[in-house]
Amino acid sequence: MTALSVNVNKIAWLRNARGGGRPDVVALAKRIIAAGADGITVHPRADQRHITPADTVALGELVATERATYPNLEFNIEGNPYNRARRNGYPGFDALIETCRPEQCTLVPDADGQLTSDHGFDLLGGSNARLLARIRRYQALGARVSLFMDPVRDQISAARDCGVERIELYTGPYADAFAAEGENGDGTRRELARYQAACEHARAIGLGVNAGHDLDLDNLPLFARIGNVSEVSIGHALISDALELGIEETVERYAAALA
């Protein structure tokens, strides 16, 4: 069964738009867990546009506490491993991993001004020594490391050579094809086949596979049929649906779509 990790960035983004403490990220994360999510994901960016370092610490503490009731619950911190401390109070990605000790950290090659993560690592263009050092550091802190990757066979093989346990496939192209053509469109089926081949290759060479980006209640059931995906991380669409359906029903529907 594919695990559902809910990215709560957009809850913090809404709170930050007004200031104060509403909506309460930690309180809603607790409800998300109780509704059936298998994990909580955050992507704390250096500009603190949504999840803050304080949120990250508080959510890590929540997951640790809730694990008494939900033993397999996980905390996943995403981000660019090269982000250093900033004057605005962002402590750097390394410091967040050291403080929070998440079960998983997902490394993403995003730039400061990037609206959202929209491409995977290019591991074929030169030395990966700097990235390897970060991977080893986080593994030594107890985290399973996943690299955000495009569904490209040679890139996935290079990720395996970096010694990570998993990859997270960037699913934007599949979601775009589905939105344009629907479930039975030729483009959708081509993209689905591409992701299935990438997933099968990753599994064959010993990598676990996560997936995420623009997955929603419409396109998730078809994507889930490719099988062998350990986890999906979903934020924007799920939180948007929760405005209409309520958070508990929304989480339940996403879990059902995966099943």
The 8-class DSSP code of residue 115 comes to: S
CA 244 to the chain's CA centroid: 23
Residue of 78, 103, 191, 231 marked catalytic? 78
Query: Which residue of the set 43, 50, 103, 231 is catalytic?
Result: 43
- Helical H segments across 39-185, by residue range: 53-66, 93-100, 129-140, 153-161, 172-181
Known catalytic membership, residue 201: no
**Residue 56 half-sphere exposure toward CB, CA atoms < 13 A:** 29
- Residue 43 is a catalytic residue: yes
Active-site pick, 50, 74, 103, 213: 213
Whether 6 and 237 have beta carbons less than 8 Å apart is answered as: no
C-beta of residue 238 within 8 angstroms of C-beta of residue 251: yes
Q: Helix and strand tally (H, E) in the chain?
A: 11, 8
106: β partners? 78, 146
Strand residue runs (E) in 26-91: 39-42, 74-79
CA 206, 215, 35, 64 dihedral sign is positive
Q: What are the catalytic residues?
A: 43, 78, 213
